[in-house]
Amino acid sequence: MRQSYLFTSESVSEGHPDKVSDQISDAIVDMMLAKDPEARVACETLTATQRIVLAGEVRCKGVFENGEWAEGALAEIEDIARQTVRDIGYEQDGFHWETLTFENYLHGQSAHIAQGVDASGNKDEGAGDQGIMFGFACNETPDLMPATLDYSHKILHRMAVDRKTGAAPFLQPDSKSQVTLRYVDGKPVECTAVVVSTQHIEGYDEGEKEAELHAYVKGVVGDILPDGLITDATAWHINPTGTFVIGGPDGDAGLTGRKIIVDTYGGAAPHGGGAFSGKDPTKVDRSAAYITRYLAKNIVAAGLATRCTIQLAYAIGVSSPLSLYVDTHNTGTVDDAALEDAIKGIEKLGGLTPRGIRTHLGLNKPIYAQTAAYGHFGRTAEGDLFPWERTNLVEDLKAALA
């Protein structure tokens, strides 16, 4: 690792058009899992000026069975999409939850995909697709996340709370953040640059009102970043284009799954390429990415490394992973191969099969809408939410290595 370098990560708010799409898709996943824990969902959402379009495939008891929609199901799906937009806060001429046009092109799941995934006879449930998934953890923050991404998320989350409570009434839903930190010996020591672009009401792009917005943003960033990181040399770029009134899906079309680096580790770790939102947990794009984060976080929490990357690989229709790879980036207290063997030997993980992952983490529940903004990782495990953020595997890892 280089002794000194700069690293940057970005985040986008719940009002960003791609994130609006993610939240709609995951709200529909939650609706179907609430009715049928074994539901199969692959829901893609397009958002644009005054328009929402859904597409994908589903199979869910009480919603879509035997090629037919249940009575009231289509209306319920539309209501969920509109309510999601309303909760985000869009009541603008170019994107209004109540008056936008809604189109639904969801259809039944492919029988050829189903035969590979479903358990039958002596065949265990298979992976929903081929692919590689990565998990990561490091000790840069209490959340065991890369600091640049952790701070970028928290800046926008704080701004959204202030917008909704009325503490910052000049804010609108769409915003982006970016934090650049200088690292020395792998530790963040200075914030060299901050970028925040936030949608605002008319008039906050000049004069005293612009100064008020800038002062507000600097105050939020100052609250989020630890003392000492911001200096007189920190470069500030707040609404660098000048005016940001037109935003959200009216300013730029949104698609589910287009913010995969924001969703994961901000570029600090590899990404397998698969998106999370809109997918039920039989899709290993989602569930295996969650279990690899869980494993990496527990390794770091156990003091077995200060930085850890884990890869899993799967083939469609095959239950057991094709490979497990652990890399502690020369920070481990034990050999990486020993960690691989320890993970394989922990019975409660169920061999890291799709069924084993879903069972251990309790993923067949309506827990996904809250993952669709401000990152899937580095969040607080509470009740059924964010179970992959728990550190309850620490003692099992230590015992397996003993």
Band of the pLDDT at 3, cuts 50, 70, 90? confident
Q: What is the pLDDT of residue 109?
A: 81
Please write the tens of the pLDDT for every residue from 263-286.
999 999 999 999 999 999 999 999
Burial 334-349 (b: 16+ CB within 10 A, else e): eebeebeebbeebeeb
Is 259 in the active site? yes
Say whether 275 counts as a known binding-site residue: yes
Band of the pLDDT at 203, cuts 50, 70, 90? very high
Q: What is the pLDDT of residue 106?
A: 97
What's the whole-number mean pLDDT along residues 97-121? 78
Which one of the listed residues 10, 19, 153, 250 is annotated catalytic? 19
pLDDT tops 90 at residue 256 = yes
pLDDT tops 90 at residue 118 = no
Which one of the listed residues 258, 293, 358, 360 is annotated catalytic? 258
Please write the tens of the pLDDT for every residue from 386-401.
999 999 999 999 999 9
Domain ranges of the chain: 4-11+146-246, 17-117, 131-139+258-401
Is 208 in the active site? no
Band of the pLDDT at 103, cuts 50, 70, 90? very high
Nearest to 154 by CA among 187, 183, 179: 179
Is 61 in the active site? no
CA 40 to each of CA 24, 114, 314: distance values in angstroms, whole numbers, following the listed order: 16, 9, 18
Which one of the listed residues 14, 16, 27, 296 is annotated catalytic? 16
Q: What is the pLDDT of residue 125?
A: 78
What's the whole-number mean pLDDT along residues 364-382? 98
Q: Cα separation of 272 and 283, whole Å?
A: 13
Band of the pLDDT at 331, cuts 50, 70, 90? very high
Is 279 in the active site? yes
Say whether 258 counts as a known binding-site residue: yes
Q: What is the pLDDT of residue 114?
A: 56
CA 70 to each of CA 57, 110, 155: distance values in angstroms, whole numbers, following the listed order: 15, 19, 42
Is 283 in the active site? yes
Please write the tens of the pLDDT for every residue from 54-92.
999 999 999 998 889 999 999 999 999 999 999 999 999
Is 341 in the active site? no
Q: 306: helix, coil or strand?
A: coil
Q: What is the pLDDT of residue 317?
A: 86
Is 87 in the active site? no
Q: What is the pLDDT of residue 117?
A: 65
Encoded amino acid at 263, one letter: D
Say whether 209 counts as a known binding-site residue: no
Q: What is the pLDDT of residue 120?
A: 52
CATH topology of domain 17-117: GMP Synthetase; Chain A, domain 3 (3.30.300)
pLDDT tops 90 at residue 300 = yes
Is 7 in the active site? no
Q: What is the pLDDT of residue 127?
A: 84
Say whether 57 counts as a known binding-site residue: yes
pLDDT over 70 percentage in the chain: 96
Say whether 237 counts as a known binding-site residue: no
Say whether 109 counts as a known binding-site residue: yes
Please write the tens of the pLDDT for every residue from 24-42.
999 999 999 999 999 999 9
Say whether 202 counts as a known binding-site residue: no
Band of the pLDDT at 160, cuts 50, 70, 90? very high
Which one of the listed residues 259, 293, 360, 376 is annotated catalytic? 259
Q: Cα separation of 306 and 137, whole Å?
A: 8
Burial 367-377 (b: 16+ CB within 10 A, else e): bbbbbbbbbbb
Which one of the listed residues 279, 286, 297, 307 is annotated catalytic? 279
Which distant-in-sequence residues (6+ apart) come within 8 Å of 339 by Cβ? Answer: 299, 304, 326, 328, 332, 397, 401
Q: 88: helix, coil or strand?
A: helix
Q: Cα separation of 271 and 288, whole Å?
A: 12
Say whether 164 counts as a known binding-site residue: no
Q: Do domains 4-11+146-246 and 17-117 have the same CATH topology?
A: yes
User: What are the E-state strand segments in 206-355?
Assistant: 230-238, 254-255, 307-314, 323-327
What's the whole-number mean pLDDT along residues 182-187? 94
Is 19 in the active site? yes
Q: What is the pLDDT of residue 25?
A: 98
What's the whole-number mean pLDDT along residues 248-257? 97
Which one of the listed residues 22, 44, 150, 280 is annotated catalytic? 44
CATH topology of domain 4-11+146-246: GMP Synthetase; Chain A, domain 3 (3.30.300)
Band of the pLDDT at 98, cuts 50, 70, 90? very high
Which one of the listed residues 124, 190, 252, 340 is annotated catalytic? 252
Phi/psi at 199 (nearest 5 deg)?
-65, 145
Which one of the listed residues 36, 285, 327, 396 is annotated catalytic? 285
List, in sequence order, the alpha helices (H) in 225-302.
248-251, 260-263, 284-301
Which distant-in-sequence residues (6+ apart) come within 8 Å of 398 by Cβ? Answer: 302
CA 253 to each of CA 17, 19, 55, 81: distance values in angstroms, whole numbers, following the listed order: 6, 11, 15, 16
Q: Cα separation of 322 and 315, whole Å?
A: 7
Q: What is the pLDDT of residue 210?
A: 97
Q: What is the pLDDT of residue 2?
A: 81
Q: What is the pLDDT of residue 234?
A: 98
Mean pLDDT lowest for which of 113-122, 171-180, 320-329? 113-122
CATH topology of domain 131-139+258-401: GMP Synthetase; Chain A, domain 3 (3.30.300)
Q: Cα separation of 357 and 377, whole Å?
A: 17
